[in-house]
Amino acid sequence: SQQGEEDPQALSIQEGENATMNCSYKTSINNLQWYRQNSGRGLVHLILIRSNEREKHSGRLRVTLDTSKKSSSLLITASRAADTASYFCATVIERSNYKLTFGKGTLLTVNP
């Protein structure tokens, strides 16, 4: 079964609004990563947060990690139509030879 599960499965917002996506996982992790996938394209890495970090920022992106709840959130502020994409969380578990395990993704649609 998938280690990471994103919530919601789909999210539709207006340009300028903030978008929040959540990811829950089951076992202890080494780090958690967020990726973006535009339709018909490969995945692009957005941000990595380590298990001993609680929050990280990159431009309009803010990621939080709560290891006690085994959850992470990705916040995109002041969204743009170009942010329309699928967003995936991926976890790295220490016992898994450091392979990534992906969730099923959140489809974000930003309406102009």
Partner 1 sequence: NAGVTQTPKFQVLKTGQSMTLQCAQDMNHNSMYWYRQDPGMGLRLIYYSASEGTTDKGEVPNGYNVSRLNKREFSLRLESAAPSQTSVYFCASTEEGRGKTQYFGPGTRLLVL
The residues binding partner 1 (CB under 8 A) are: 2, 30-31, 33, 40-45, 48, 88, 90, 92, 97-105
* Least CB distance to partner 1 at residue 41 (A): 6
- Which one-letter amino acid corresponds to residue 8? P
Helix and strand numbers, DSSP H then E, in the chain: 0, 11
What letter does residue 80 receive in the DSSP assignment? -
d(CA 34, CA 72): 10
Q: How far is the CB of 4 from partner 1 (least distance, A)?
A: 8
Q: Give Cβ neighbours of residue 38 (< 8 Å, ≥ 6 apart).
A: 44, 84, 85
Helix (H, G, I), strand (E, B) or coil at 81: helix
- Closest approach, Cβ 87 to partner 1, in A, equals 11
**Structure token pair of residue 32:** 């958690």
If the CB atoms of residues 52 and 97 are measured against partner 1, the closer one turns out to be 97
Identity of the residue, 32 or 110, whose beta carbon is nearer to partner 1 in the bound complex: 32
The nearest distance, CB 9 to partner 1, in angstroms, is 8
Q: Which is nearer to partner 1, 74 or 90 (CB)?
A: 90
Nearer to partner 1, 62 or 102 (CB): 102
